[in-house]
């Protein structure tokens, strides 16, 4: 067969993915079976793969793909004889892995009860006979142009093996399950189903995902070549898997009331199996339906098998058999006939698909069912019940498992009673973790038993276990022998009454408890003892436990305690400090006279009675009582704790509050209580606290103030400073000791300064002023220093106090305000204000030194385009970078400033010759010509420079700036990206321009401007239809001024707004006259300059106001704006045009064809008229290019319902040509020159020029 390297590589990759599915099956099946059988399951998965691979190599491939014998079986190619080409070898590998997959399907279904040897034989049966035979029927000829098997010839379609692989495995698994039966305990006698625990659902879920991943090669590789169809096949495969999982999960959720893992897993696999037969020939939607129904079929078949008491361990039969049959049938139901390529109709295709299902049933179920039935009679396929109970891991493979070892140790422990036995525990498995917990329990049990034995053996008390009936001693500890002087054999069986003479043990209800008795030793000596009796239950019956403690030493200690208490009472009553004995509830049980004197002010019997037995709380300040009460309780509870000392406030009967130092200790006084008590010793520290509080307050004020403070001693050296001083000046406390005042101040202050300070201090006792304080780092900070003297009672100076107030922030605020007022925020350069100041200084200095000063006036070319296209942020970044380049291009002594927008200036001082400026100007032009790499993109600009020199071109800053501006204007006229020096000729031009500007400003106010109208005629009938208003100006002493001269001047100087409104008002008045003459229908057009069009003040509002004052509607006026004026800022222009349209103002696009807009943009502009520029009219009808352009523009405008007015029509030929094109109106000398309103009225009333 023909092949190429890419096809071979694709099949190898797909084969690797199918091989990876074996790992998925291993994870899935070992996770869904019990851990005692997981090694056996893993072995079967591994061995069935190797066995099936060898069997398929030997005979399976030949039977399946060898030359067909009657369409039933292959008869050549055994042991791969004749398989030589790379494509044939890789085809064998791919099909061998399919065979292994079919065998592996059986493994999971029959897990946990089929013997290993039987499974190996079953694997050989499937790989050698069953799979190759049915595979031959369906797939023989896949590697040739024509199918060889009878099913394949008949048109049976199974793309990647829903039947050939999965149904075959499912049918064989079902036949085997019927032979070997369910697992032990799976079904109860009443037919109910018992759940069997699984080893690891997460591992099974991992296996399902691995299978999904490998399935991409299963289905995608079946193309046997690298084609674009793989994308659809893989997508359909994933959609089917997902749909199957979702629907199976929902069915299980609804059925069980909770989501389970197994339906989601088997839904994935059933969806994959179902879509495997048809993924190449169905739509994605159909793949979802097929996969979803595959999951549903698997869920239904699983329930049916359980009702029939058929035990499938992993659900392989519902998934592979149910999903395989459904997927095979779905080929006919959903498959695209063209993609199937069988040439069969729907019913014929369904018939052959069902035939294939039946054939698969016969060869993969009926045949193996008979063979296995016979084989099971000869050699039992299922393991014995004992083996199944122990687990196949141990029984078949001799593998040790943790669970098996666990049970073995527990059994041995139960038999021997040896508590020291332990189970080996693997911390990484669940069984190991259980074993570890069991070992911990045994550790605790063994420890508890050992501890009990140790307690009994080493106890200082004698312990007896006796029979409660006759009190005979059954056992005892070693101390009993020592205490009573008897050997162990003498004690055993002796009644307790012999050791405790006269002891009467009453009934159970009075036997338990502790009492003091007299015990009798072997030598007849007696001793006081404490006897404790208790009863305990045991497996052999009730026992009596007697504990005997020798209390001879306790009696001696009690006698000594009584003597000690007597001594304590003497000290207690005569002590000079207040003392009180307090119980845990806070009651005073005893108090000495000193305490009564301290708290009551008197000592008598009544005072003692007022205190003893009463609560301590009312005498303690409420804020201190909780602390004191907790301390008393803590001391009583813990006698080993450190001595407690507290400062506590007490309230006297007269309302006075005193402070007392309270020292707490634990004490035992049996005469007062058998529980531990607390003794409190009180010392009055009221005066001491008052002094300490005053000192603390002073220190707090000193340390907490934010103002730095220095205390100098009488000698002028530092005695003390606060934290604010250390923080402000950066010193450590030890570093300021011994410093004097000058060492804290700047070195610029001379000796006379300090002499004046100390003289003022001596005379008035204080001094204050602003100084520069010196930090440890030698940094200087401005402070306001206040010095004050402290003198003693004799008038001698003891200290000098210096208080500093940091002025840094105020100075910084002043600096910030100054910088904001004098520097540009965007570039950091001096602004116009600071520039003018520095220019004045530079001129003044040059006047004194006789040197020259150069002034550059720069304007950035194309900056507006950058700002409009890349945004204002990019524009600001470009200005900032421009500033840095200018700074690098001049000396540090020169000044670079930003005046406004994209205008910069440079002041160059200390010049001896003017020609030095040329070098600097060239440098700046070159630097700014380099591209600007901005975050928003790359930008390119250039600069024009005007240069004026002091004193050559002016002696005042104003003259220099004005002349540099004129030179800049001249540089722009020369083509930009150059520099020009101010010259006398420029001076004359500037003077003329200034005079013209002045006259124009005056003319607008005086009404020297007037309006003429050039008529426009309709081509259809030659009637005057309107006119264009044209402004004209005649200077009183200078004659007429060309509009091309004064209108650009008005644009530059900003007079265009006043000029435009003046013209608009004149036109409105004339339109009023036209209306009065019955000519209100004439369209009067007014030219609007681009600056006026884009002005911040709304153009529509201005027109509405002016026309309203004349009693006219805005719709009677036509506004003409040039194409270039609109396209300069298309977005803003579109918004303005829409606002004009909303106000009913018509717009005509002037000079059309000269701008840079495309014809496609015209349809987006809300305009009503189009004026063809005279340049296109002049050449018609002779110039074919002009004719073509005019024709195209007129037809385009007419299609867009836009009126066309042709300008500059001067000949009849032009008129006739335009008429043939369907042009609406014409304007030009042929119709009429610009004329007065009166003449226009005459023309309109007379009917106008004839154009018919």
pLDDT (mean) for 86-105: 92
Confidence of residue 393 (pLDDT cuts 50, 70, 90): confident
Residue 547 to residue 545: CA distance in whole angstroms: 7
Neighbouring C-beta atoms of residue 137, cutoff 10 Å: 28
Please give the pLDDT value at position 508: 39
Residue with structure tokens 């250390």?
726
Q: Look up the CATH superfamily of 1009-1246.
A: EAL domain (3.20.20.450)
pLDDT at 507 over 60: no
Question: pLDDT tens digits, residue range 1109-1135?
Answer: 888 888 889 999 987 777 767 778 888
Residue with structure tokens 């943790």?
402
Question: pLDDT tens digits, residue range 754-795?
Answer: 889 888 888 888 999 889 889 988 888 898 999 888 888 787
Could you tell me the residue ranges of all domains in the chain?
A: 5-184+208-386, 402-453, 459-550, 583-691, 705-811, 823-982, 1009-1246
- Domain 459-550 fold is Beta-Lactamase (3.30.450)
- Of 335, 27, 309, 19, which is closest to residue 162 (Cα–Cα)? 335
3-state helix vs strand vs coil in the chain, percent to 5: 55, 20, 25
Please give the pLDDT value at position 402: 64
Better pLDDT: 38 or 265: 265
pLDDT (mean) for 847-876: 88
pLDDT at 491 over 90: no
Please give the pLDDT value at position 1250: 39
- Of 787, 785, 811, which is closest to residue 797 (Cα–Cα)? 787
DSSP state of 613: T
What is the side-by-side order of every strand in the sheet holding 657-667? 588-591, 578-582, 677-684, 657-667, 644-651
- Domain 705-811 fold is Beta-Lactamase (3.30.450)
- Of 757, 806, 753, 811, which is closest to residue 783 (Cα–Cα)? 806
Alpha-carbon distances, residue 267 vs 89, 98, 131, 309, 861 (angstroms): 35, 21, 25, 22, 70
Highest mean pLDDT among 495-509, 811-825, 828-842: 828-842
pLDDT (mean) for 849-864: 91
Please give the pLDDT value at position 741: 87
Question: pLDDT tens digits, residue range 1038-1094?
Answer: 788 888 888 888 887 778 888 888 899 999 999 999 999 999 889 999 998 888 887
DSSP state of 716: S
How far is residue 385 CA from its own chain's centroid? 58
Confidence of residue 509 (pLDDT cuts 50, 70, 90): very low
pLDDT (mean) for 30-58: 89
pLDDT at 568 over 50: yes
Confidence of residue 1230 (pLDDT cuts 50, 70, 90): very high
Question: pLDDT tens digits, residue range 913-945?
Answer: 877 888 899 999 999 999 999 998 899 999 999
The H or E element spanning position 290 is helix 284-307
Question: pLDDT tens digits, residue range 514-545?
Answer: 888 888 888 878 888 888 888 888 767 788 88
pLDDT at 415 over 70: no
Please give the pLDDT value at position 318: 97
Burial class (CB in 10 A: 0-12, 13-18, 19+), 621: middle
Cis peptide before 951 (omega within 30 of 0): yes
Q: What is the DSSP string of 1146-1199?
A: EEEEEEETSSS--HHHHTTS--SEEEE-HHHHTTTTT-HHHHHHHHHHHHHHHH
CATH of domain 5-184+208-386: 1.10.3430.10
Better pLDDT: 328 or 1109: 328
Please give the pLDDT value at position 643: 63
pLDDT at 1154 over 60: no
What is the 3-state secondary structure of 69-97? ECCCEECCCHHHCCCCCHHHHHHHHHHHH
pLDDT (mean) for 1088-1107: 82
CB-based contact 1113:1144 (threshold 8 Å): yes
Q: For 217-226, 546-555, 1235-1244, which range has the lowest pLDDT when averaged over its residues?
A: 546-555
Burial class (CB in 10 A: 0-12, 13-18, 19+), 213: middle
Structure tokens, 1064 = 């608009």
- pLDDT above 70 covers what percent of the chain? 92
Highest mean pLDDT among 320-324, 471-475, 1164-1168, 1199-1203: 320-324
pLDDT at 1155 over 50: no
Q: Look up the CATH superfamily of 583-691.
A: PAS domain (3.30.450.20)
CB-based contact 1147:1171 (threshold 8 Å): no
Average pLDDT along the chain: 86
Q: CA 362, 368, 369, 370 torsion: positive or negative?
A: positive
3-class DSSP state for residue 970? Answer: helix
Confidence of residue 293 (pLDDT cuts 50, 70, 90): very high
pLDDT at 1164 over 60: yes
Fold match between domain 459-550 and domain 705-811: yes
Does the domain formed by 823-982 have CATH 3.30.70.270? yes
Q: CA 1236, 1239, 1244, 1248 torsion: positive or negative?
A: negative
CB-based contact 252:299 (threshold 8 Å): yes
């Amino acid at each position: 067969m023909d092949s190429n390297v890419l096809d071979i590589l694709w099949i190898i990759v797909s084969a690797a993915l199918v091989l990876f599915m074996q790992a998925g099956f291993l994870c899935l099946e070992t996770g869904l079976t019990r851990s005692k059988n997981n090694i056996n399951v893993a072995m079967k998965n591994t061995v069935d793969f190797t066995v099936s691979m060898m069997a398929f190599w030997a005979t399976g491939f030949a039977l399946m793909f060898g030359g067909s014998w009657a369409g039933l079986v292959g008869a050549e190619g055994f042991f791969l004889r004749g398989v030589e080409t790379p494509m044939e070898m890789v085809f064998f590998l791919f099909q061998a892995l399919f065979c292994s997959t079919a065998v592996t399907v059986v493994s999971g279904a029959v897990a946990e009860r089929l013997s290993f040897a039987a499974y190996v034989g079953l694997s050989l049966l499937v790989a050698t006979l069953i799979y190759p035979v049915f595979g031959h029927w369906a797939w023989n000829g896949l590697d040739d142009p024509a199918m060889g098997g009878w099913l394949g010839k008949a048109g049976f379609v199974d793309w990647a093996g829903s039947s050939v692989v999965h149904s075959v495995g499912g049918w064989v698994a079902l036949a085997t399950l019927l032979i070997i039966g369910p697992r032990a305990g799976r079904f109860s006698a009443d037919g109910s189903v018992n759940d069997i625990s699984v080893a690891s659902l997460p591992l099974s879920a991992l296996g399902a995902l691995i299978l999904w991943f490998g399935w991409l090669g299963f289905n995608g590789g079946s193309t046997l070549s690298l084609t674009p169809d793989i994308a659809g096949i893989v997508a359909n495969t994933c959609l089917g898997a997902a749909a199957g999982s979702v629907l199976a999960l929902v069915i299980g959720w609804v059925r069980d009331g909770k989501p389970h893992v197994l339906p989601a897993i088997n839904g994935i696999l059933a969806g994959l199996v179902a879509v495997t037969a048809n993924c190449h020939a169905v739509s994605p939607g159909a793949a979802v339906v097929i996969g979803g129904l595959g999951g549903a079929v698997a869920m239904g078949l699983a329930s049916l098998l359980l009702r029939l008491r058929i035990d499938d361990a992993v659900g392989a039969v519902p998934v592979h058999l149910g999903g395989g049959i459904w997927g095979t049938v779905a080929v006919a139901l959903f498959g695209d006939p063209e993609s199937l390529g069988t040439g069969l109709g729907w019913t014929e295709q369904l018939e052959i698909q069902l035939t294939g299902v039946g054939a698969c049933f016969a060869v993969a179920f009926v045949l193996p069912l008979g063979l296995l039935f016979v084989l099971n009679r000869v050699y039992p396929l299922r393991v014995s019940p004992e083996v199944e109970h122990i687990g196949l891991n141990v029984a078949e493979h001799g593998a040790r498992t943790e669970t098996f070892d666990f049970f073995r140790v527990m059994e041995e422990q139960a038999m021997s009673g040896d508590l020291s036995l332990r189970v080996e525990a693997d911390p990484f498995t669940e069984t190991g973790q259980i074993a570890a917990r069991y070992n911990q329990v045994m550790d605790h049990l063994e420890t508890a038993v050992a501890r009990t034995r140790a307690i009994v053996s080493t106890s200082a008390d004698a312990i007896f276990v006796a029979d409660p009936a006759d009190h005979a001693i059954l056992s005892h500890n070693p101390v009993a022998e020592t205490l009573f002087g008897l050997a162990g054999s003498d004690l055993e069986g002796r009644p307790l009454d012999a050791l405790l003479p006269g002891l009467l043990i009453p009934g159970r209800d009075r036997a338990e408890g502790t009492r003091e008795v007299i015990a009798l030793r072997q030598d007849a000596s007696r001793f006081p003892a404490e006897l404790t009796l208790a009863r305990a239950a045991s497996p052999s019956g009730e026992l009596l436990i007697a504990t005997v403690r020798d209390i001879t030493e306790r009696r001696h200690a009690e006698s000594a305690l009584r003597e000690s208490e007597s001594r304590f009472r003497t000290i207690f009553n005569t002590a000079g400090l207040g003392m009180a004995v307090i119980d845990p509830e806070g009651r005073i049980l005893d108090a000495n006279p000193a305490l009564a004197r301290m708290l009551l002010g008197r000592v008598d019997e009544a005072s003692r009675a007022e205190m003893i037995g009463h609560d301590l709380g009312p005498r303690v300040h409420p804020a201190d009582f909780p602390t004191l009460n907790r301390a008393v309780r803590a001391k009583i509870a813990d006698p080993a704790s450190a001595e407690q000392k507290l400062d506590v406030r007490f309230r006297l009967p007269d309302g006075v509050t005193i402070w007392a130092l309270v020292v707490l200790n634990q004490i035992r006084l049996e005469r007062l209580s058998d529980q531990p008590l607390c003794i409190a010793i009180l010392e009055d520290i009221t005066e001491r606290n008052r002094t300490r509080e005053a000192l603390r307050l002073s220190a707090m004020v000193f340390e907490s103030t934010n103002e730095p403070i220095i205390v100098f001693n009488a000698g002028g050296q530092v005695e003390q400073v606060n934290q604010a001083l250390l923080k402000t000046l950066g010193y450590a406390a030890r570093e300021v000791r011994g410093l004097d005042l000058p060492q804290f101040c700047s070195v610029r202050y001379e000796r006379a300064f300090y002499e004046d300070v100390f003289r003022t201090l001596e005379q008035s006792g204080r001094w204050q002023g602003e100084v520069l304080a010196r930090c440890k780092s030698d940094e200087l900070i401005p402070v306001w220093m206040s010095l004050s003297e402290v003198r003693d009672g004799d008038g001698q100076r003891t200290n000098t106090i210096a208080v500093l107030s940091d002025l840094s922030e105020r100075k910084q605020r002043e600096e910030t305000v100054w910088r904001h007022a004098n520097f540009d925020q965007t570039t950091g350069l001096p602004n116009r204000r600071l520039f003018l100041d520095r220019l004045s200084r530079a001129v003044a200095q040059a006047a004194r030194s006789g040197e020259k000063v150069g002034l550059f006036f720069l304007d950035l070319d194309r900056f507006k385009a950058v700002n409009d296209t890349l945004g204002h942020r990019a524009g600001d970044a470009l200005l900032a970078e421009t500033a840095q380049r200018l700074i690098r291009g001049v000396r540090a002594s020169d000044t670079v400033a930003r005046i406004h927008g994209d205008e910069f200036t440079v002041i160059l001082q200390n010049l001896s010759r003017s020609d030095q400026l040329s070098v600097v100007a060239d440098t700046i032009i070159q630097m700014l010509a380099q591209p600007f790499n901005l975050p928003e993109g790359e930008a390119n600009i250039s600069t024009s420079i005007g240069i004026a020199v002091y004193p050559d071109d002016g002696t005042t800053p104003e003259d220099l700036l004005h002349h540099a501006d004129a030179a800049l204007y001249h540089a722009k006229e020369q083509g930009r990206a150059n520099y020009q020096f101010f010259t006398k000729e420029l001076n004359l031009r500037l003077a003329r321009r200034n005079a013209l500007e002045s006259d124009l400003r005056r003319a607008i106010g005086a009404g020297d401007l007037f309006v003429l109208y050039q008529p426009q005629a309709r081509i259809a009938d030659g009637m005057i239809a309107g006119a264009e208003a044209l402004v004209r100006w005649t200077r009183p002493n200078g004659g007429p001024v060309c509009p091309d001269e004064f209108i650009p001047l008005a644009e530059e100087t900003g007079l265009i707004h006043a000029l435009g409104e003046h013209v608009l008002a004149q036109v409105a008045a004339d339109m009023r006259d036209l209306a009065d003459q019955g000519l209100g229908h004439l369209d009067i057009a007014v030219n609007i300059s681009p600056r006026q069009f884009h002005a911040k003040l709304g153009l529509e509002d201005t027109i509405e106001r002016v026309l309203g004052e004349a009693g006219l509607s805005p719709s009677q006026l036509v506004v003409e704006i040039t194409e270039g004026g609109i396209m300069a800022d298309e977005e803003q222009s579109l918004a303005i045009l829409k606002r004009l349209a909303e106000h009913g103002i018509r717009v005509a696009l002037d000079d059309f064809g000269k701008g840079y807009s495309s014809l496609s943009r015209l349809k987006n502009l809300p305009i009503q008229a189009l004026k063809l520029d005279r340049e296109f009219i002049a050449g018609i009808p002779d110039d074919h290019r002009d004719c073509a352009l005019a024709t195209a523009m007129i037809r385009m405008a007419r299609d867009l319902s836009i009126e066309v007015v042709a300008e500059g029509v001067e000949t009849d030929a032009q008129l006739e040509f335009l008429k043939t094109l369907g042009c609406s109106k014409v304007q030009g000398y042929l119709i009429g020159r610009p004329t007065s309103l009166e003449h226009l009225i005459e023309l309109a009333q007379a009917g106008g020029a004839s154009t018919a």
